[in-house]
């Protein structure tokens, strides 16, 4: 166990798994160990059948994740080999998050910069406060930013805004982020936690087989056309119609009551 292990916290509560970046003295800047631990926690949530939605947030109220922990560059990214090792860890975590079979929400308070924005872009939904700020300052640090991250950014905001964000390296307000489509919702700071919790619960209450099929399709949409698993998508869609939940959904609708979906 490394000293940074406790800088990633996790919670499970009522079908919702939470990953909390817990490095508030550095605005939740990410070290190598934090990236590795986040991947382990995320995999645990994916493997847990009770967890239906995953929420990512930052501790301390000042940042979601402000980026990489630059104070550790001298030890973690000092050479090309070190950088390759670091990028492999960040890539593995980002890839797992972006292909996660369960819905993910980035609960963004304060700064969401660099690697933090990269993490948020891997989530399905991004909900922030009015004071949140966003940016990819790689160009201000001579840091290389890979194909996968730029592709995700361009898919969400479009090529023109993606170029503006990456080329300028400047900070963008939550209002600018909303115009670009970078965030789904802006809410008052005092309401962020409850708003995200309500959103996560709304999703968790829906039919998990339907959500899984939809999530699979969205993941495949992010791949090159020749690499898409269309048969797998269709299999998940058909599984919905053969499920007990499909019967429950119809009955609940006719009986004008809330359905109780079991994921089978």
| Interval 137-193: pLDDT, tens | 989 888 888 888 899 999 999 999 999 999 999 999 999 999 999 999 999 999 999
Task: Please give the pLDDT value at position 85.
Answer: 84
Residue 1 predicted with pLDDT over 50 = no
Segments of the chain assigned to CATH 3.90.226.10: 5-203
**Half-sphere exposure in the Cβ direction for 198 (13 Å, CA):** 7
The predicted-structure confidence for 59-109, as pLDDT tens digits, reads as follows 999 999 987 766 666 666 666 787 788 888 888 999 999 999 999 999 999
Tens of pLDDT, residues 229-240: 999 999 999 999
Q: Is the pLDDT of residue 258 over 90?
A: yes
If you ran DSSP here, which 8-state letter would residue 64 be given?
A: E
pLDDT of residue 4: 59
Residue 144's pLDDT is 81
Check residue 143 and give its pLDDT.
82
Mean pLDDT of 210-237: 95
In our burial notation (b when 16+ CB lie closer than 10 A, e otherwise), range 239-257 reads bbeebebbebbeeeeeeee
Cα–Cα distance, 104 to 257 (Å, whole number): 27
More confident residue, 104 or 5: 104
**pLDDT tens string 111-140:** 999 989 999 999 999 999 999 999 999 898
Question: Is 60 exceeded by the pLDDT of residue 2?
Answer: no
H helical segments located in the chain: 32-47, 73-76, 80-98, 115-122, 138-141, 147-157, 159-168, 174-180, 192-205, 208-221, 230-241, 244-254
Q: In DSSP terms, which residues pair with 10 in a beta bridge?
A: 19
Ramachandran angles phi, psi of 240, nearest 5°? -60, -45
State the Cα–Cα distance between residues 230 and 99, nearest whole angstrom. Answer: 15
Q: Which fold has domain 5-203?
A: 2-enoyl-CoA Hydratase; Chain A, domain 1 (3.90.226)
């Amino acid at each position: 166990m490394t000293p940074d292990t406790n800088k990633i916290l996790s919670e499970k509560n009522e079908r919702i798994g939470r990953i909390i970046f817990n490095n508030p003295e550095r605005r939740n800047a990410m070290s190598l160990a934090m990236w590795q631990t986040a991947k382990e926690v995320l995999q645990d949530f994916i493997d847990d059948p009770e967890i239906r939605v995953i929420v990512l947030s930052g501790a301390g109220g000042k940042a979601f994740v402000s980026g990489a922990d630059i104070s550790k560059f001298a030890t973690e990214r000092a050479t090309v080999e070190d950088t390759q090792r670091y990028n492999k860890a960040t890539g593995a975590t980002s890839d797992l998050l972006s292909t996660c079979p369960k819905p993910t929400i980035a609960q963004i308070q304060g700064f969401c910069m660099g690697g933090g924005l990269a993490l948020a872009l891997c989530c399905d939904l991004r909900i922030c406060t009015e004071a949140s700020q966003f940016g990819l300052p790689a160009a201000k640090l001579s840091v290389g930013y890979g194909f996968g991250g730029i592709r995700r950014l361009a898919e969400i905001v479009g090529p023109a805004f993606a170029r503006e964000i990456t080329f300028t390296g400047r900070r963008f307000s939550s209002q600018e982020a909303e115009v670009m489509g970078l965030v789904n919702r802006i809410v008052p700071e005092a309401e962020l936690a409850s708003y995200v919790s309500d959103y996560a619960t709304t999703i968790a209450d829906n039919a998990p087989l339907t959500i899984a099929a939809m999530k699979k399709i969205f993941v495949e949409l992010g791949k090159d056309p020749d690499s898409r698993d269309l048969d797998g998508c269709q299999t998940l869609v058909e599984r919905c119609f053969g499920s007990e939940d499909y019967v429950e959904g119809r009955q609940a609708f006719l009986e004008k009551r809330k359905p109780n979906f079991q994921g089978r």
